[in-house]
Chain A
Amino acid sequence: MSTKVHLDRAHGLRLLREMLRIRRFEGKCAELYQAQKIRGFLHLYDGQEAVAVGVMQALGPEDAVVGTYREHGQALARGIPMGPLMAEMFGMQEGVCRGRGGSMHIFDHGRRFCGGNAIVGAGLPLALGFALADRMQGRQAVTACFFGEGAADEGEFHESMNLAALWRLPVLFVCENNLYSMGTPLGIAEAETSIWHKAAGYRMGGEAVDGMDPVAVEVAARRAVERIRADGTPHFLECRTYRFRAHSMFDAQLYRTKEEIEAWRAKDPIPRLRDWMERAGHLHAGDMERLEAEVEQEVAEAVAFAEAGTLEPVEELERFVTMDEVPQ
């Protein structure tokens, strides 16, 4: 575990809590999917929590985030409240997007969270635009752009990497490499499987980081964000991670072995951080039980909020197809 970030008790507990919130929220989502309260596609972040939680530590409210379709973790770590997020899953108008987006399309204007994007790679150009607008309007913000390693297969990825480097746009590219684009292993999709090496082709700084370690991700993200703010050039982080569960709720996982999954589960970022904190004396007796209870309570309240939600009237179906004004 890297110690470049001052990992005191308070900070360690914060990271643990944020990862637990995601894990337990999504555990509940899976249950509610089985109960048919949540429908459509549901892609769980289970196993990848350290990436979003680590990166978000490096961002402030002035920064922007562009997420993927596996973005519950990114949304929660960005500070989107659990209740409206769950209500969105339920398709309720109290949801963050009034139930229009669902699991794959989480947006939050106030938190500069622009998707939730279900087209692989399509968020990268948007992130460039956010960064360009921030720079042209004299803001010091950084845009963190999340995408999976499958996005590197897309032409849009390369177009965006080139343009970001060429125009020196303040973008932190965060590749969540979980080794599978749906069921296709990285090795049969990419000639160069070390994704961060591609950054060099665009004269962009990059590195690979242990994506199962929130502290390692945070250290790398803080260093990158500081550099981006200082000189305006983009930076590339490849976070090597793994999703413990299936791609979506319809995936029989015929493409990987139980042994492989178990080997990655042994690197689970939550017990890993917990054990390290115990050894370092940062975790006291009863801490985990208290955290678990608090998170359980938060999830229960989110479910109750969603259960109490109301359906948007069908009369509003066409509302916002075109906008009457630009929201401020």
Chain B
Amino acid sequence: MSTAPARITYREACREAIRAAILADPRVFLMGEDVGRYGGCYAVTKGLLEELGEARIRDTPLSESAFVGAGIGAAIAGLRPIVEVMTCNFSLLALDQILNNAATIPHMSGGQFAVPLVIRMATGAGRQLAAQHSHSLEGWFAHIPGLRILAPATIEDARHMLAAALADPNPVLIFEHIMLYNMEGELDPAVQGVDIASARIRRPGHDVTLVTYGGSLFKTLDAAEALAREGIESEVIDLRVLRPLDTATIMQSVARTRRVVIVDEGWRSGSLSAEVAMRIMEEAFFELDAPIRRVCSREVPIPYAAHLEQAALPQPGSIAEAARGLARPAP
């Protein structure tokens, strides 16, 4: 194996993760809409059907409830399915299976049955796909006990989170932000795996903590660069795992910076950002020097028109503005 870092896209990292998982374990297979002949709605699975065959790369009818439920049953009965729900917008059609079966059966059966299932789905806005194709629903799923919720934001996580998810005896949902698929970067061949338990500090800083995940990570890093030019050093935390939350990493950072901005592409009301903020209230209230701020999507269905869509989403400018208000109080 080459030791030089390879330049690949996030999409290719997702594809290689699936390919490697299927080659490594005869129990693993992928099913979903258009994953085979079409190559995946976002071209993630392009070429896999030809290489791995119809038994392992299964095109399904447009029956989210049936094929997600079949994945749950197959996981209970000994397989390790990867189910692709094309986008999280369609996951609502399978919500009953995910909540009432996958998340419930292990506890409800008194520990007799585990559901070692992985469900991948695209999430987020930014490509003018309008309201019904632009939701960020990972925060909703993070409400549900029994699930592990992952949001790979980096190429390394896109490449390695899947294997860890498949090794988990519990249902794991992976949310891939649609704006990340074309992102290109280096993949260090020396890294052979990642954990799916901890948050990561993507940029150290001491003036303010910016907590984010998924597609908002790079907007937040851009904001941090802008702030740095003004002399404000931000610490950027990539949550990576939305359930269970790694609160220790957050609290340690809060203890250093004493100021927090949470950036979440979900709507503000009842959101993951609200949960993170409340955890900080419960665990680190006296560390804070200022109220927590949030930058979330505006509370509207995401519109088609580009200027309106962009106005609805967190942006580097709005993130930097929120941080500036905290780190540099008005005289």
Q: A163 near B107 (CB under 8 angstroms)? A: no
Chain A residues whose C-beta falls within 8 Å of the C-beta of B66 in the assembled complex: 124-125, 128, 156, 159-160, 162-163
Contact with A along B58-93 (1 / 0, CB 8 A): 001101011111111111111101000000000000
**B111/A125 in contact, CB under 8 A:** no
Taking CB atoms, residues of chain B closer than 8 Å to A259 are: none
**With known contacts A132-B74, A133-B74, A327–B113 Cβ distance under 8 A:** yes
Q: Which of A279-328 contact B (CB under 8 A)?
A: 319-327
Q: A141's closest neighbor in chain B, by CB?
A: B77
- B71–chain A nearest beta-carbon distance, Å: 6
Q: A122 an interface residue at 8 Å Cβ cutoff?
A: yes
Give the distance to chain A from B73, nearest Cβ to Cβ, in Å.
2
Contacting residues, chain B, for A96 (C-beta < 8 A) = 110
Q: Which of B98-113 contact A (CB under 8 A)?
A: 100-101, 105-113
Say yes or no for A137: interface residue by CB 8 A criterion: yes
Task: Tell yes or no: A220 within 8 A of B by CB.
Answer: no
A325–B169 touching, CB < 8 Å: yes
**Does A5 count as interface, using CB distance less than 8 angstroms?**
no
Residue in chain A with minimal CB distance to B65 = A156
B78 touching A107, Cβ below 8 Å: no
Give B contacts to A, CB under 8 Å: 27, 29, 55, 60-61, 63, 65-79, 81, 96-97, 100-101, 105-114, 116, 145-146, 148, 169-170
Q: How far is the CA of A320 from the CA of B146 in the complex (A)?
A: 8
Question: Which of A99, A127, A326 is in CB contact (< 8 Å) with B169?
Answer: A326
List residues of chain B with CB within 8 A of the CB of A98: 110-111
A130, CB-defined interface residue at 8 Å: yes
| A-B contacts besides A99-B110, A105-B108, 20 pairs, CB < 8 Å | A95-B110, A96-B110, A124-B69, A125-B68, A125-B70, A128-B73, A129-B69, A129-B74, A133-B74, A136-B79, A159-B63, A160-B63, A162-B66, A163-B61, A166-B61, A320-B111, A322-B146, A322-B169, A323-B106, A327-B111
Contact of B108 among A66, A100, A130, A131 (CB under 8 A): A100
- Residues in A with CB closer than 8 Å to B60 are 163
Residue of B nearest to A126 (CB): B73
Q: How far is the CA of A320 from the CA of B207 in the complex (A)?
A: 41
Q: Which residues of B contact A327 (CB under 8 A)?
A: 111-114
Smallest CB gap from B109: residue in A:
A107
Contact of A323 with B111 in the complex, beta carbons under 8 Å: yes
- With contacts A122-B69, A132-B73, A136-B79 taken as known, whether A101 is within 8 angstroms of B109 at the C-beta atoms is yes
Asked if A129 and B108 make an inter-chain contact with CB atoms under 8 angstroms apart, the answer reads: no
Determine whether the beta carbon of B116 is less than 8 Å from that of A326.
yes
Q: Can you give 24 contacting A-B residue pairs, CB < 8 Å? A: A96-B110, A97-B109, A97-B112, A105-B109, A109-B109, A114-B105, A122-B96, A125-B67, A125-B72, A128-B66, A128-B73, A129-B69, A129-B81, A133-B73, A136-B55, A136-B79, A156-B69, A159-B66, A160-B69, A163-B67, A323-B106, A323-B111, A323-B114, A326-B114
> Is A207 among interface residues, defined by CB-CB distance under 8 A?
no
- Assess the B76–A114 pair: CB atoms within 8 A: yes
Q: Are B61 and A322 in contact (CB under 8 A)?
A: no
- Whether the pair A320, B106 counts as a contact (CB closer than 8 A) is yes
Give the CA-CA distance A127 to B170 in the complex, in Å.
19
Q: Determine the chain A residues whose CB is within 8 A of the CB of B111 once the complex forms.
A: 98, 319-320, 323, 327
Q: Report the separation of the CA atoms of residues A326 and B101 in the bound assembly, to the nearest whole angstrom.
A: 16
Interfacial residues, chain A to chain B (CB-CB below 8 A): 64, 66, 95-101, 105, 107-109, 114-115, 117, 119, 122, 124-134, 136-137, 155-156, 159-160, 162-163, 166, 319-327
Shortest distance from the beta carbon of B44 to any chain A beta carbon, whole Å = 22
| A100, B27: Cα distance in complex, Å | 30
Instruction: Give A290 to B40 CA distance when docked, in angstroms.
Output: 64
A107 near B105: Cβ-Cβ < 8 Å? yes
B69 touches A126 (CB 8 A): yes
CB-based nearest A residue for B99: A119
A317→B71 CA distance, assembly (Å): 27
Complex alpha-carbon distance, A320 and B60, angstroms: 31
Within 8 Å by CB of A320, from B76, B107, B116, lies: B107
Kindly provide the distance from the CB of A119 to the nearest chain B CB, expressed in whole angstroms: 5
Q: Are B113 and A109 in contact (CB under 8 A)?
A: yes
Question: Is the beta-carbon distance between A101 and B106 smaller than 8 angstroms?
Answer: no
> Contacts of A114 on B, CB cut-off 8 Å?
73, 76, 105, 113
Partner of A97, one of B78, B110, B146, B170: B110
The one of B73, B78, B101, B146 in contact with A137, judged by C-beta atoms closer than 8 angstroms, is B78
Q: State the CA gap A311–B146 with chains docked (Å).
A: 23
Closest residue of chain B to A161 (Cβ to Cβ) is B66
For A107, give its contact among B68, B72, B79, B112 (CB under 8 Å).
B112
Pick from B100, B145, B169: contact of A324, CB under 8 Å: B169
A128 touches B69 (CB 8 A): yes
Which single residue of chain A is at the shortest CB-CB distance from B68?
Answer: A125
Residues of A within 8 A of B68 (CB): 125
Set of chain A residues within 8 Å of B113, measured between Cβ atoms: 107, 109, 114, 327
Q: Is B107 within 8 A of A133, CB to CB?
A: no
Query: Which residues of the partner chain B approach A115 to less than 8 Å between Cβ atoms?
Result: 105, 109
Chain B residues within 8 Å of A134, by CB: 77
Verify B106–A321 contact, CB threshold 8 A: yes
CA distance A66 to B72 in the complex (A): 13
